[in-house]
Chains A and B, each alone.
Chain A
Amino acid sequence: EAQVTQNPRYLITVTGKKLTVTCSQNMNHEYMSWYRQDPGLGLRQIYYSMNVEVTDKGDVPEGYKVSRKEKRNFPLILESPSPNQTSLYFCASSLRLPKRSSYNEQFFGPGTRLTVL
């Protein structure tokens, strides 16, 4: 089954304790992205990756790191989590678009609910 998986699904941690949220897709997609969802704000992009070893900042990258060593995996790293990073996080993937095309369907993982105390 084609899917995007995330782990863990739920996590409660304390300020300053490093954590990693994993994301994996089995669709051979080049493009992967992380979003956070907050009430009244919709989803905002944190980081994205166009392909292996190619990553770039989204709209809200502060406090996060990512890596893309393999095509299928795109982990989100919080080196020193703070309470304002309490949120619902989604990983997404899609095929890379050819030029001049503006359509893409992104496939989303089930989400990771993170609470930082």
Chain B
Amino acid sequence: GDSVTQMEGPVTLSEEAFLTINCTYTATGYPSLFWYVQYPGEGLQLLLKATKADDKGSNKGFEATYRKETTSFHLEKGSVQVSDSAVYFCALSLIQGAQKLVFGQGTRLTINP
């Protein structure tokens, strides 16, 4: 079935470090891909999206490129801040399945000053 696999966490970095969170997917057809972020005590918020191969989603300094050949959608940021501490979820959406989002297991990121 359709699935999303994220790198295991937790991830701990120092402020201004480079961030990569790996995400790969398995899907029948052509999914749209998303990164959602969950700040402590809050619901999920859409961080960025890509709807077709080679699209690059970007927001708040984060980027991810839809790589069809490697079925990947890795999240990157060049210089993280303490305020980026959160749980990050990679997800896909298919036409079938009534708009259901399929989520990865989440990666907890902690940024130390």
Q: A102-B30, A103-B32, A103-B49 are in contact. Are A43 and B98 (CB under 8 A)?
A: no
Of the residues A35, A42, A97, A101, contact of B106 by C-beta under 8 Å: A42
Interface residues of A in 26-49 (CB under 8 A from B): 31, 33, 35, 37, 40-45, 48
Interface residues of B in 37-52 (CB under 8 A from A): 41-46, 49, 51
Mask for A94-109, Cβ within 8 A of B = 1, else 0? 1011011111111011
Question: Which of under 10, 10 to 19, 20 to 34, or 35 or more describes the interface residues of B?
Answer: 20 to 34
B98 contacts A50, CB within 8 Å?
yes
A104 contacts B93, CB within 8 Å?
yes
Asked if B94 is at the interface of the complex by the 8 Å CB criterion, the answer is yes
Question: Which of under 10, 10 to 19, 20 to 34, or 35 or more describes the interface residues of A?
Answer: 20 to 34
- Interface centre among B41, B44, B103, B104, by most chain A C-beta atoms within 10 angstroms, is B44
Q: In this complex, what residue of A is CB-closest to B95?
A: A102
Given contacts A42-B103, A42-B106, 9 further A-B contacts (CB under 8 A): A4-B43, A31-B98, A31-B99, A33-B100, A40-B105, A44-B103, A99-B95, A104-B93, A106-B101
